Structure 1
Amino acid sequence: MKEEAWGWHGDQVLFEDGDFPCDDSSLLSDGSTPVARLRGDVTWRRPQEVSQSPTLFPENINLGHAKQGLLGDCWFLCACTVLLKNKHLLNKVLPPDQPQWGDSRYRGSFLFHFWQQGHWTEVTIDDRLPCVNSALCFSRCHSPTAFWVALLEKAYAKLHGSYELLWAGQVSEALVDLTGGLSERWNLGDAGSEEEPRTEQDSDRVRRLDLNLLYPMKDGCALSCSTHSSPGGATELDQYHALTVMEWLDVRMVSGGQVRLLRIRNPWGRCCWGGAWIGSSGAGWNSVEPSCAADLQGKAAEGEFWLDESEFLSHFHDVTVGYPISDEMHLKSIYTGNLLTHTHQLAGRWIKGHSAGGCRNCSSYGNNPKFWLKVSEAGEVLVSLLQHRKQRRKEQYTQMPGKDSKNTKHQHYQAVALHMWKVEKKRFNLSRMLNKPPCASTHCHAYEREVVLHAQLEPAHYLLIPSTFLAGAEAHFLIRVFSSSPTSLSALKSPAPSLPSTTDGEWEIVCFQGSWVMGTNAGGSRNFPSHWQNPCFPFTVCDDTAATSEVNVRITLHQTSHDTDLYPIGFHIYKVAAGGSEVALPKDEEPVASCVPHCYTQDVSLACCLPPGAYAIVPSTYQPDLSGNFTLTLARRVHRKVVKSQERLGRAIQEVSHISVMQS
């Protein structure tokens, strides 16, 4: 973190943000977009240097909508519209009562909140804004005196790393970042293509939207549309341009029928449409009553235009829907209108060689992270899988406008999906269950930041498995559950190794608790000289000195870290000298048994036969100086005569395959 700086403006000391300085490092990433042309021409000015009477919001809220500048972030500006519709959301993102220009408390800084990976994150900026020729060069409000959009854009650019990193993106991502809710993308393409075969590999196919589904929720949900090429009526629309659906309604025609009209806002702030309902001269207006036509035409502000449903479906390629959010910040379902008052979230991770099992085509699918969803009462449930964006470095970021959007998404995200199975019994066979069709799933693996599963569920336990399409693909993710009825969400831990069978003898079980402490006894694997500093646990096999037969031993090492913070662990067993108060490890001798290589897993175990004698177990992480807690479980076979008894405190369960136990 760089030091904060303070600059003088008149008789005031104003904040200057050292973490997002007013230079090319905040403006550019790798210079691969047209923003690079501004290099050397940008000056940074505070709002009072741009307008004589700056304010955050204009008195006429219609003039507070965003107008796009020289930055290709229409996707973000479309999402900003939702804030003007929901005051509670606006106050969450831009906390009210911050000192503005002319206030004695004003110090040139503003605080914003963005939802990131499950939590609201604070972003503080100074109010120096990029300008060319004394005018804002990026986004601004339609009112020249309002600056909330320009400041919000700067805070979002700081969150991403630079203004240039906002060039091109997904409306759905910005909607979630600004609301903490859910959004889904729907295709408006030719329904005839539905007949094409669908496969798991068809990872970019999106579902097709029937506008009638959304009509009951049209006033509450955020709606954006985008075009991937220049349609005939929209001569100025460029590739991948996003627009906002401001309003849509069914209008009675003179003929007695109805026509569905949609009012669209172009972030460019100018009309770019030439359809049947353009301005007041479009031929479509002749089909409705003159008074109705005049009323609707008067609603179209600067940069807005009307079109009917057939034009909408034929000229736009997809729609992004942001779920309505109540004043209490609860989600509303776009499918039913139900209020989803119960929410849960858990983080997870796909780790190569451990939990990145790939799709259902892969034999390793069952290795993926698993979660229990307990539904207590019948109700509507939405489960989302949100993956973290791949780490980006400015010099590695390349996203030229007009490139294939598929490649852009593949660069930042894995293809992911979510499947759900209803579990009928407390104990079940995982492999057998996974061979059955899931009761619900996302439509396919998709290169999206977030995919959403929707279902009406009856009371039961359900197993959720998030997966990447390719085995070994690594990423962090967040599972979120929104439901109308009480639910609970928990991670299914890796199953503990089954204890030795008790039907053919007795076993003595001992547990040791231990810790690796950085700088003290976290010695790492045998590749490091510090290995011998690791904790050491002595044990004996058969105290009878006359015994010669080998003894069955099973050792399990369990690390207590969360699934997302696992270390690669393993252990070695050494033969040591009997007797003595201290154990001397034979550093020049090989271990008699080992549980290696070190694995990213909760538990590692080893079953072996050892001759009578003295031994020591040395558990370790692969790298030295990694702190953590662990449990060692040692089971030794005890040879005793079986004593027949009438007591039955329980019965042994023979596990012949992978068995998972449901945690209530």
Structure 2
Amino acid sequence: MPRLSFISGGKKTKQLLRTGTLRKPRKLLSQDYQTLLEKSLKSKQLFVDDAFPAELSSIGSGNLLRKLPSCVEWKRPQELVKNPHFFVEDASRFDLHQGLTENCWFLAALASVTFHKDILTNVVPRNQSFDKNYAGIFHFRFWRFGEWVDVVVDDRLPVNKDGKLLFVSSTRKNLFWGPLLEKAYAKLCGSYEDLQIGQVSEALVDFTGGVNMTIKLEQAPPDLWQIMVRAAYSGSLMGCQTRAGPERVLENGLVAGHAYTVTGIRKVTCKSGTENLVRLRNPWGKIEWKGNWSDNSSKWDQLSLKERLLLRKTREDGEFWMSIEDFEAHFVELVICKLTPDLMSHENGKEWTLSMQTGKWLTGSTAGGRMTYTDTYWKNPQYRLKILKGDNMEKYTNTCSVLVSLLQKQNHKHRNKSPPMFIGISVFMYQSLRGRLPCEFFLNTRPVNNKCVFINEREVTQDFHLFPGTYVIIPSTAEPDQQCEFILRVFSRKHLLEEQGENPSPVLVCKKVADKQDEMETVIVRYFEKHPEINISQLQMLLNRGNWTSARQAPVKFSLDACKVIMAQLDVSASGTLNMIEFYNLWKRLLSYQEIFQRRDIDRSGYLKLSDLQAALQEKGISLSHQFYNLMALRYGNSSLKINFENFVCLMLRMEINGDGTVTVGSDLLWY
């Protein structure tokens, strides 16, 4: 089981806060769907989105404008068809067709999502229609740089003079979830033009929050078929792309510079033996492969009648079969998007765990560039990863499979005006020590991955098989002094995530304290080896093994009621239990809360007064009016409006997990 921690350098930087969750996504541009809906219904006026107006500026300002007809109008679905429908339960990959925008990568990913109704329900909320409570407003959800974001749009869509949609359309003329979803994604990316040209991997992550594994098919591993079988069995999403270049139809029926969806795999039995087949779909909804196993191929005659009837479809719908050998020969990459635990069922979530750290490359500080810049490379952010022996080790090799993802944030509101920088990941093995690795270490040590490949894509991922031991992960740009925010994600069977502050000083940090921390970490690991999930009583027992007070105070003991509140905040899957990663993240939070509490408890009374509480919250970057501090003291304090450590923990978890520092009177944050 790996454990990841952050080793910061120089001046301590504040952790970037990600507030949007599946249950409570962040509102893009602070537009709240429910509030705007109710306002429109009350005024009896259809919603008009001034943040993404029905104007050419929302379409773009470059090449896409040249494709537009001379007359562009914006119309609502009720002006286009008699009986518009927002969504149908049998929505499928065959519903949508690409329009004037070159966003096949977006549609290829969306087609893959239609196989996962739970994910599609999250991206396309169902409580919307053109009948009940219709007000011309719709909303959609996307995962964006570490958080879920809710995007509101009005339903005015660009059409030509004949009322034909210019961009994504549906095969069912009265179905509009696809065109409205594309509009919401265009708003998120800046404009419709910002959807031109992209990677299917990018859209897969934006729909799921998953982690991508990209396989270059020119160097495809010998077990490619087995990898695809495992991916399909685990519910991963798959897409692929043909060689880059101008989009054009080749003689074999494939489209150059185009993205496709992998919609199925199948081992078939022919008269001459078995063959492995891959089913693909062109997001255009037409133009198909013409080679072996295409719709009209004679290869189908080698199958039994039953298998032929089951697999072969001769209609022109953009979907076709081809052999795994032809797939490797004609496509350049396969993208497999592994789903993160918060989008899986509770049972599947036990198999894989995702941990995430946000950081920055800062000019003149933490932007050290690649290893050849020997004077600055060590200044890059450093993340500690510890692999422990455990049941998750792969048989015979005793290694742990770890997928590391590095994702850079676009620095411009328009996606296409913020081209990705060249980024890469290096992993080093080293003997356990505290503090950052110095410059000298990198002069004489090669990374585990031997050579770091830098790619100018939004996300770079690499799969590792690591032996038990201690490692450090270095995310970097190819060149020094390139400034950008990033997310480092580690995806594996089981690991722990922690963040460390400045380099510990041997004068200020007592070895006994460090030993006690290591001892408690060992206790946690051993307990969860026996109990993969813990209930409220076990949570109370483990928390009360910690020492949360100074020497002169009576020991703090967490009550069962407090543990219920804590469980409610952290139990994302609503299972009534916590796994090891959830508990360990809680433990690290408690340590940081304890540090703040003891620093602000100047008289060592074990309580924070109102002024102390205000100072403590401001340390976390939370600034509220005096009225709200009084309300929180009433809710969480005793009769003297003083707050003990137990209630301080409940308050801080509530603020950090469910809030973004913005509080309204009467909200559940205050009155929970």
**What's the TM-score once normalised by structure 1's chain length?**
0.63
Alignment partner, residue 441 of structure 2: 433
Alignment partner, residue 347 of structure 1: 358
- How far did 1:263 drift? 1.7
- Distance change >3 Å, CA 440–CA 338, structure 1 → 2: farther
Residue type of the alignment partner of 1:212: Q
Aligned positions of 1:126-525 closer than 5 A = 126-132=154-160, 133-189=162-218, 210-219=224-233, 220-228=235-243, 232-235=250-253, 237=255, 239-255=256-272, 257-279=273-295, 281-298=296-313, 302-324=317-339, 328-329=343-344, 340-363=351-374, 364-375=376-387, 378=390, 379=392, 380-391=401-412, 412-427=419-434, 430-434=438-442, 435-440=444-449, 444-457=453-466, 460-491=469-500, 493=502
- Distance change >3 Å, CA 497–CA 353, structure 1 → 2: farther
- How far did 1:225 drift? 1.8
CA contact (8 A) 2:37 2:137 kept: no
Partner Cα distance (1:458, 1:317) in 2: 31
Give the SS at the match of 2:490: strand
Name the structure where strand makes up a greater proportion of residues.
1
- How far did 1:74 drift? 0.5
Give the SS at the match of 1:15: coil
Name the structure where helix makes up a greater proportion of residues.
2
Give the SS at the match of 1:451: strand
CA contact (8 A) 1:340 1:482 kept: no
- How far did 1:344 drift? 2.3
Residue type of the alignment partner of 1:24: L
Alignment partner, residue 42 of structure 1: 72
CA contact (8 A) 2:286 2:316 kept: no
Give the SS at the match of 2:51: coil
CA contact (8 A) 2:37 2:135 kept: no
CA contact (8 A) 1:357 1:468 kept: yes
Partner Cα distance (1:151, 1:442) in 2: 44
- How far did 1:190 drift? 6.8
- Distance change >3 Å, CA 68–CA 339, structure 1 → 2: farther
- Distance change >3 Å, CA 439–CA 51, structure 1 → 2: same
Unaligned runs of 5+ in 2: 1-28, 393-400, 509-617, 621-672
1:31 equivalent in alignment to 2:62: yes
CA contact (8 A) 1:338 1:484 kept: no
- How far did 1:349 drift? 1.0
Partner Cα distance (2:343, 2:423) in 1: 31
Aligned positions of 1:68-147 closer than 5 A = 68-98=98-128, 100-103=129-132, 105-132=133-160, 133-147=162-176
CA contact (8 A) 2:92 2:111 kept: no
Residue type of the alignment partner of 1:93: V
Residue type of the alignment partner of 2:292: A
CA contact (8 A) 2:377 2:439 kept: no
Give the SS at the match of 1:465: strand
- Distance change >3 Å, CA 17–CA 427, structure 1 → 2: closer
Residue type of the alignment partner of 1:276: N
Partner Cα distance (1:425, 1:286) in 2: 62
- How far did 1:59 drift? 5.1
- How far did 1:178 drift? 0.7
- Distance change >3 Å, CA 414–CA 330, structure 1 → 2: farther
- Distance change >3 Å, CA 416–CA 330, structure 1 → 2: farther
Unaligned runs of 5+ in 1: 192-206, 399-410, 500-626, 630-664
Give the SS at the match of 1:264: strand
- Distance change >3 Å, CA 259–CA 459, structure 1 → 2: closer
- How far did 1:156 drift? 0.2
Deviation per CA, 1:393-433: give whole Å up to 9, x if none: 59xx57xxxxxxxxxxxx61121111222332335863443
Deviation per CA, 1:628-650: give whole Å up to 9, x if none: 99xxxxxxxxxxxxxxxxxxxxx
CA contact (8 A) 2:403 2:492 kept: yes
- How far did 1:376 drift? 5.1
Partner Cα distance (2:268, 2:466) in 1: 37
Seq. identity, %: 32
Partner Cα distance (2:449, 2:498) in 1: 17
Partner Cα distance (1:393, 1:387) in 2: 15
CA contact (8 A) 2:136 2:155 kept: yes
Q: Which moved more, 1:71-80 or 1:56-65?
A: 56-65
- How far did 1:185 drift? 2.5
- How far did 1:180 drift? 0.6
**What's the TM-score once normalised by structure 2's chain length?**
0.62
CA contact (8 A) 1:65 1:142 kept: yes
- How far did 1:129 drift? 1.2
- Note the aligned Cα RMSD (angstroms): 3.5
Give the SS at the match of 1:249: strand
- Distance change >3 Å, CA 331–CA 464, structure 1 → 2: farther
- How far did 1:318 drift? 1.7
- Distance change >3 Å, CA 350–CA 157, structure 1 → 2: same
Partner Cα distance (1:331, 1:311) in 2: 38
Partner Cα distance (1:312, 1:217) in 2: 16
CA contact (8 A) 2:239 2:262 kept: yes
Give the SS at the match of 2:114: helix
Deviation per CA, 1:292-338: give whole Å up to 9, x if none: 22321148672212222222222222222211456853799xxxx99
- Distance change >3 Å, CA 190–CA 416, structure 1 → 2: closer
Partner Cα distance (1:37, 1:341) in 2: 45
CA contact (8 A) 1:372 1:490 kept: no
Give the SS at the match of 2:138: strand
- Distance change >3 Å, CA 393–CA 295, structure 1 → 2: closer
CA contact (8 A) 1:6 1:14 kept: no
Larger Rg: 1
- How far did 1:275 drift? 1.2
Give the SS at the match of 2:300: helix
Structure with the greater relative contact order (CA < 8 A, sep ≥ 6): 1 or 2? 2
Residue type of the alignment partner of 2:438: L
Residue type of the alignment partner of 1:25: S
- How far did 1:462 drift? 2.6
- Distance change >3 Å, CA 481–CA 5, structure 1 → 2: closer
- How far did 1:18 drift? 0.5
CA contact (8 A) 2:146 2:487 kept: yes
Partner Cα distance (2:456, 2:229) in 1: 28
Partner Cα distance (2:346, 2:250) in 1: 38
Residue type of the alignment partner of 1:250: K
- Distance change >3 Å, CA 393–CA 120, structure 1 → 2: closer
Give the SS at the match of 1:426: coil
- How far did 1:236 drift? 6.3
Partner Cα distance (2:154, 2:373) in 1: 51
- How far did 1:82 drift? 3.0
Partner Cα distance (1:371, 1:8) in 2: 49
- How far did 1:21 drift? 0.6
